[in-house]
Structure formats: C-alpha cells, structure tokens
Structure 1
Amino acid sequence: MRVIICGAGRVGQGIARQLAKEHHDITMIDEAPDLIERVQTDLDVQGVIGNAAYPDTLRAAGADSAEMLIAVTHFDEINMVICQIADTLFSLPTKIARVRAGAYLDKANTDLFSRDGFPIDMLISPEIEVGEAILQRIKSPGAVSSIAYESGELQILGMKVDSDSPLVDTAVNQLAGLFPDLQARIIGIRHKSRIIAPRGTDQLQEGDTAYVAVSRRDTPRLYKLFNKSNEDLRRIIIVGAGNVGLHVARTMEQTSGARVRLIEASEEKADRAVSVLRQTVVINGDGLSRDILDEAGVAGSDIVIAVTDDDKTNMLIGKLAKRLGAQRAHVLVNATELVALAGDLNIDAVLDPRALSVSRILTKLRRGRIVSVQSLEDGDAEIAEGITLETSSLVGKRVDYDDLPDGVTAAAVIREGEVLFPTQNLRIEPEDHLLMFYETSQTRKVEQYFRVSSTFF
C-alpha cells in the first residue's frame, strides 16, 4: 500500500518504522530537513521537505496515487487541514489524523468529523490512548500488559513467569487438564528476545512473558498461578501533569476511591492541574527529587506512573521510585532503543504511545473483516479480532493449539456475547468473533481467514 505520513517526529517515525517492516511504500513529509534526512537514512522510506498542508507538497509526495494518508504533525489544526486537502484535491481514500486537544475530542463535537465535517476516517490521540492503557493496567496490577475485550469479560494479560510459579516447565496444552474449571488459555510466549505463538507441547520457562486469554471471573485464579498480587491499587503517584497525567488523574477521581497524588515540575502546569482536579493532591516540584517523592509518599505507594515529556527522566523516576519503596513503576517511553533498558532499571512496565497508535492504524491496513488489531513486542506479534464469514476456511473446524499453522494461536471465540475458549469440541461458526494471536510473519494467513472466498461469487 502507498502511504503518506505527514510529520517526521517521534510518533511519525514510529509509525513509519512499523509499516516499513511490512514493506508498504512510504513517503514522509516534514519541514525539517534534518528529520527527513534521518528517516531516509534510518528507515526504508522516501522523504519530501515541505509543508504538508500545501497542495504542491502533497502532490510531490504522490497524493494522486496514495491509498492512505496519516497526519501526525504537532498541530491538530494542520492535521485536520491536511486531511481536508487530501480529500478535496486528491480524493485520497483513507485519511488518519492525530488530534490531541480535548475540545475537538469532546463527544458533543462528534459532528466535526462526520460526512459534512472534516473528512477524517480515523482519529488517533496517543495521549488519550496511553492514558486508557494506564487505567487498564491499574485494573490488572499483576500484569505487565492488559487488553480488554467484550466490555472486560475477556482479557489478554501479559504475565511474567517467575521461578516460584507452579506453571514453570508446564506445557501449554496441560493447563486445561490441570485446572479444568479455569477459563484461561496461554496464547503467546516471549522467551528472551523471541516471541512465539505456542504449539501444544511448548513449555513456560522462568523469565518468560506469557500472554494469557482469561475470563473476568477467573482472573484472580490466574494471578495466583503466576504468584502475582491482584489487590486493588489504592495509593497512586503520577509524575507529569500533561495530557496523559491529567486524563488518568481525572478518570481515577470519577471511577475510583484511590488516593492519587500528582507531581509536576512546571508551576503553570501544576496550577492548571489544581484548577481541573478536585480530589487529587497536586505537588509542584521535580519528580527526580527525593524530597518531593517522599512528600508524595513514594515509600508507601502501590504504583508510580512517570509520564513527563522526557523519556530518560521517566526511566530515572521509575528507578528511583522503586529504590525508595514503590511497589510498582510504570514509565512512558517513546524511544525504542530505551525500552530494552527497563528491565535493568527494575521498571515493571513501559508505556509506548507509538505502539498504541500503530495498533489502531493497522486495523485500517488489514484486509478482511478484522475489527481490531493490537501490536505487541515492538511489532513482532499481533492480536486480531475478526469476524468469520460463511466462506471462511475455518468454519466447521477446530482451532485448538495444533489445528492452526505454526505461528498462529486462537485466543477465544465471542459468540452472541458469550466468551468461549478453544477445545477439541468447539467448532467455528459463521459470524463468530475470533481472536487470534500470531507472529507477524503470519499476517497474510490470518487475513485470509476473515476474507470473502472467491467461490462466494
């Protein structure tokens, strides 16, 4: 697919890096020559220097023949105008824009992006998406990652396998036999630097990360099997009062009885936080200061969430917070090269806004009736939710561990609102919502499962 990305900043580069892995034909536009030079050198993309809101610049980037445009400059209004020009002058089929300002995203203003408004097919807001990811992880305190489906009735949890877990050296297909009433299924394993969709005889090892599909009812039992705590997080410290920090604090005030404290170095941002928050204690100070962290109560905190504008600062805050007694530390990191350091710094989880944006965009790129995609492990694996058509090759067949090709694992079936886990007795029916975990080398195979067969016509 021919894709134009407008804006070569961190988000734009992250999206380009992932799409380039899939061999899409990518052109990036930015006014900064040094950024264009960098992406042309580091990524397999073409570059155009210029203002992406100018028709001549879009034309030079190939808007006449492009199939998708992604506008992720630093300015909402420019992103919106770019999409309007791409639609009016070039009839570009799919237009995606990053929009950050809450005034545009308010539900009362949804008509702004309707058929009669700005012709934008998908809005992405990395800050809001990161905030929602944080809130989901707060609900799943023992997991390193958490994705919810079917209003939370089904969860995909990333669980660290420690030496004291009873699941060490256990084959994944033995889980149902050992715990017959447990509605859970291991669907992916990260072992050292490699992630796989397991076959039935693959075993969990100490140090692995296991991706597990589990029903809401059985989540507490699953935590016990991994020797993880499932206690509610009641003492929360957020460092950084930007869009992410404010979104999390405001939502926690509305939905939780947790005690939240917010640290912000900028006096202006701290004053703004005080004006919009009602129950959160706002502290104006440096999150890297031990005195400030002590004032916030870091030693007795359940989790410290570092979401400042600086990756390195976030990682150091996470490291310091754990040293001072915080139970958990989650940090926001944009730079891919820093993510690998999180384990060395005793940081429990890294929040990657690029990966969240890429996941939403991939939904538009995937063929067939795929309604959602989640990118995992820096793009090495994905979880897709698709709808099986009558002509799907899966209809009437089993989807247990060894029924699918190498690199693909079925996670669960959602049928008329009921969550079903694959067994030897479960067979796929038309209109099932099927969740699949797969290594990205198997993307085209998974797409085929959800496409209309040529014999249908």
Structure 2
Amino acid sequence: MKIIILGAGQVGTTLAENLVSEDNDITLVDNAEARLEYLQDKHDLRVVRGLASSPAVLREAGAPDADLLVAVTSSDEVNMVACQVSYTLFNTPTKIARIRQGDYLREKDKLFLPEVFPIDHIISPEKLVSDEVVRLIDYPGALQVAHFADQRISLVVCKAYYGGPLVGYAISALREHMPHIDCRIVSILRQDITIRPQGSTIIEAGDEVTFICETTYIKAVMSELQRLEKPYKRVMIVGGGNIGASVAKRLEHSCIVKLIERDAAKAMVLSEKLSDTLVFHGDASDQSLLFEEHIENIDAFISLTSDDEANIMAALLAKRLGAKKALVLIQRMAYINLIQGGAIDIAISPQQATISALLAHVRKGDTPNVATLRHGVAEALEVVIHGDEATSAVVGRKVSELKLPNGVILGAILRRNEVIIAKKDVVLQDEDHVVVYVSDKKIVPDIERLFQPSAFFI
C-alpha cells in the first residue's frame, strides 16, 4: 500500500515506524529538514520537505497514485486543506485527518462532507483519551481496557495480587473457579519478560495479565486475579482543557468530581459549563489546596494538563498525601515505562490511543478496531471474516487447523449476537468478528494475508 503521512511529530513518526516494517511504501512530509533526514536514515521510507497542504508538495510526495493520505500535522487547518487538495487534484481514495478543535468536531456532520471537506475518517486524540480515562474509571484496578465487536468483547490488562483466587494456581483452574464464564488469557508479563500462557502456567503475584472475554464478565474475571476495588466515587481532575473538561462532564453524574484549573478565566467558564463539578482556580502542586479538598479521600487523581512534568509531580504529591490511585497524561513515550507501576498507577498516552485508531483504518482487510497494548510491541485487532471455503483460508476450518504464526492467539468471536471464546474446536464462519492478539506487530501482515479472502484460494 502506498501511504503518505503528513506531519513528522510523535504520532506521524510512530505511525510510520509501525507501517514501514509491514511492506508499505511510506512517504513522510514535514517542514523540519533535520528530523526528516534522521527518519530517512533510520527507516526505509521517502521524505519530502515542505508545507503539507501544498499541491506541489503533495504531488512530489506521490499523491497522484497514493492509496491513503494520513494528515497528522499539528494544525487542524493544514490537515483539512491537505485532504481537500488531495481529493480535488489527485482523487486520493482514502483520507484520514487528526482534528483537535472542539469547534470543528461539534460541526463535523456538516463540515466533513465530500462537497465541503472530503475527509473519510476523523481522528480526535482528545475524545480517544477521554474514552480511555472513563473506561479505566468504570473498571477500577484495570491498567488498560479496549472494547471490540460493538463493545461486546473486551481485552483487559490488570495486575495479579495476593488475595486473587487464581494467584498461585494454574490457568486451567480458572474453569473450575468460573464454570459458567469463558475467557482467554493471552499474555503474561512477569518481571518485564513476556510469557505465552499455557493451561499449566502458574499465575504469580505481580504478573501483568492480559485477557479477552465478553465485556459483561470483565469484573468477574478480574476478581480472580485481585481483590476487586470499590467503584471510584471521588475523583479529582487537574487541567481544564478539552480532555479534562470532557472527562469531568462524563463523570460528574456518577461521581463526586473536583477539577483544578490554573487559569482563572478558564476556571470561571468551566464552573458555568460543568453543572455538577466543583471547579477550583489553583495549582495542583499546592499542598494546602489538596489538604483543604481532602486529597486523602480521593479515589482517583487524574492529571490531564499538557505538561508531562507538571502531571507527574502533581500525581506524585497527591499519592504521597493519600490519594488512592493516580492516572496521568503523558505525551512523551519515553516517560511511560519509566513512571508506570510505581507511585503512579497508570500513564495514559494520547499518541498510543491515536495510533490505535489510525491503524484500524490503515490495516488491510475489514479491521474495525485495533488496540496497541501498553508496552507498544503487542497489538489486538478485530478482523471481520469474509468469503467461503473456496475463497478463504479460514472459513469452515477449526481454530486448531489454522496455520497461525508464533505469538498469535485467537481470543474471541462475535457471531451474530453471540460471543464465543475461540477454542480449538470452534469452526470459523463468514461474517465472524474475530479478536486476534498479536505479541509482535511485525506479524500483523501475516494475519492480514491469512484472513483476506482471495478469488484464487484453493
């Protein structure tokens, strides 16, 4: 596939790194010459320097015969115009744009039409991060939750602790503990080493366990790995930007929400906009303010400013003063593994959330959802099977008969309205939605080829 990526920031660069290893023809466009030279030396891709929305630059980047344009520059306006130019002049088949401004998103049904701004898919990092934060609040104790197949199937990452009934026992004991609930444990991270789980694998305290199950049963499965935490009822949010305001709005009817904003004018606007949220003008690193607002009673402290260092320091202080959980927004990927799992419980990456959403549109075949997992190497994807026994390598075959690469596990299937755990004797059918766990993203092209129907398959 010939792909043009506009913008060599963190998202554009990470997307290029993900796709260049999958036999795609990648061209990266940006104004920063030094950064382009570095990326060209490091990866097998073309680079073009210039304004991303310029017809001449797009032509030089190969827009006339590109299959896909991904506009992820730091400017919404440049992204929108680039898609318009690419459509009007070069008839590019698929155009994806990152749009951040809420004003544009609120009018998206009128703006993003073929006759106005012809954008096929809109990616909004703010909405993606808000969704992720709310999911983590909904499932206390989870480190990551990703929904698939119309939210009927979920992948969950959580830590095993002493007190969990399965801790100290083999995975096979899960069936005895929960005879009426099916789930598939797909990965265990133990002391930074990934273990492929077998029935005889013993779950140990401290293991980071990734499992796939029907969404309804998430808490039941988690209760086997840890003592379930009580629902978060008292939440403190730092930062009244788009993400902070959105999270507060979505939580304020089910939780007691306090929001701290440093800018007085913005705090005033938020206090009028958020009817059930208590908004403070102040600094989250002010000990006296946190004490006054009873930080020791806060179930979840969520720091969502655009400043990584401020988020980290505020969360560390809040935990030291008694907050039960700390979630922080981190822009720099290098910080995430450094801080997560210590005093700070969860680091949320807008880049990772954005990449996951982009990959769902970039993957070959019918792939409605993709989730990049917490450490960035593994991936889970939802694939819709099409074809019959004559045109497909998977339709009509048992899971045990598939030639799956090492590190690939079929987790669960949504068939019409039924969720089925993909056991060895399950026979795959046309229109099945299959959630596949891939331990290494480099294997994804093999999975795409396996599930794509072919008129020449024998």
Q: What TM-score, normalized by structure 1, do the two folds share?
A: 0.91
* 2:292 aligned residue: 295
SS in 2 for 1:64: helix
Q: Do 2:159 and 2:226's aligned partners in 1 also have CA atoms closer than 8 Å?
A: no
Query: What's the CA shift for 1:164?
Result: 4.3
SS in 2 for 1:340: helix
Query: What's the CA shift for 1:417?
Result: 1.2
Q: Deviations over 1:72-127 (max 9, x none)?
A: 22222221101111111222222110111222222x64142233332212110111
Alignment of 1:51-66 (within 5 A): 51-66=51-66
2:362 alignment partner, one of 348, 360, 365 = 365
SS in 2 for 1:379: coil
* 1:144 aligned residue: 143
* 2:406 aligned residue: 406
* 2:233 aligned residue: 234
Partner AA of 1:11 in structure 2: V
Alignment of 1:12-91 (within 5 A): 12-22=12-22, 24-37=24-37, 39-40=39-40, 45-91=45-91
Distance in 2 (CA, whole Å) between partners of 1:340 and 1:454 is 45
Gaps of 5+ in 1: none
Query: What's the CA shift for 1:406?
Result: 2.3
* 1:447 aligned residue: 448
SS in 1 for 2:344: coil
The range that moved more, 189-198 or 133-142, is: 189-198
Query: What's the CA shift for 1:144?
Result: 0.4
The range that moved more, 15-24 or 4-13, is: 15-24
Query: What's the CA shift for 1:199?
Result: 4.4
Q: Do 1:355 and 1:378's aligned partners in 2 also have CA atoms closer than 8 Å?
A: no
Partner AA of 2:353 in structure 1: L
Query: What's the CA shift for 1:385?
Result: 1.1
Q: Deviations over 1:4-29 (max 9, x none)?
A: 22222333233233334445443332
Q: Deviations over 1:366-422 (max 9, x none)?
A: 222222211113431111111222243333333369985421112111111111123
Query: What's the CA shift for 1:356?
Result: 1.3
Identity %: 34
Partner AA of 1:51 in structure 2: L
Q: Do 2:149 and 2:382's aligned partners in 1 also have CA atoms closer than 8 Å?
A: no
1:275 alignment partner, one of 260, 263, 272 = 272
Query: What's the CA shift for 1:311?
Result: 1.3
Change beyond 3 A, Cα 1:64–1:403: closer
Q: Is 1:332 paired with 2:321?
A: no
Distance in 1 (CA, whole Å) between partners of 2:162 and 2:403 is 31
Q: Is 1:213 paired with 2:212?
A: yes
Alignment of 1:93-108 (within 5 A): 93-106=93-106
SS in 1 for 2:226: coil
Q: Do 2:133 and 2:247's aligned partners in 1 also have CA atoms closer than 8 Å?
A: yes
Partner AA of 1:232 in structure 2: P
* 1:316 aligned residue: 313
Partner AA of 2:431 in structure 1: E
Q: Do 1:141 and 1:229's aligned partners in 2 also have CA atoms closer than 8 Å?
A: yes
Q: Do 1:72 and 1:97's aligned partners in 2 also have CA atoms closer than 8 Å?
A: yes
The range that moved more, 229-238 or 172-181, is: 172-181
* 1:307 aligned residue: 304
Q: Deviations over 1:41-78 (max 9, x none)?
A: 66554433321111122223232343322112222222
Query: What's the CA shift for 1:152?
Result: 4.1
Distance in 1 (CA, whole Å) between partners of 2:21 and 2:207 is 25
* 1:112 aligned residue: 111
Query: What's the CA shift for 1:346?
Result: 1.7
Distance in 1 (CA, whole Å) between partners of 2:58 and 2:195 is 40
Distance in 1 (CA, whole Å) between partners of 2:216 and 2:421 is 14
Partner AA of 2:139 in structure 1: S
Distance in 2 (CA, whole Å) between partners of 1:402 and 1:200 is 20
Query: What's the CA shift for 1:169?
Result: 4.9
* 1:129 aligned residue: 128
The range that moved more, 117-126 or 266-275, is: 266-275
Distance in 2 (CA, whole Å) between partners of 1:251 and 1:346 is 26
Distance in 1 (CA, whole Å) between partners of 2:160 and 2:154 is 18
Alignment of 1:150-299 (within 5 A): 150-195=149-194, 198-253=197-252, 256-299=253-296
Q: Deviations over 1:125-155 (max 9, x none)?
A: 1111000111111111110011123554432
Change beyond 3 A, Cα 1:192–1:246: same
Change beyond 3 A, Cα 1:314–1:45: farther
1:380 alignment partner, one of 377, 383, 394 = 377
Query: What's the CA shift for 1:347?
Result: 1.3
Distance in 2 (CA, whole Å) between partners of 1:29 and 1:208 is 41
Q: How many residues align?
A: 454
Q: What TM-score, normalized by structure 2, do the two folds share?
A: 0.90
Query: What's the CA shift for 1:239?
Result: 0.7
Change beyond 3 A, Cα 1:352–1:432: same
SS in 1 for 2:122: strand
Distance in 1 (CA, whole Å) between partners of 2:189 and 2:308 is 24
Change beyond 3 A, Cα 1:296–1:398: farther
SS in 1 for 2:272: helix
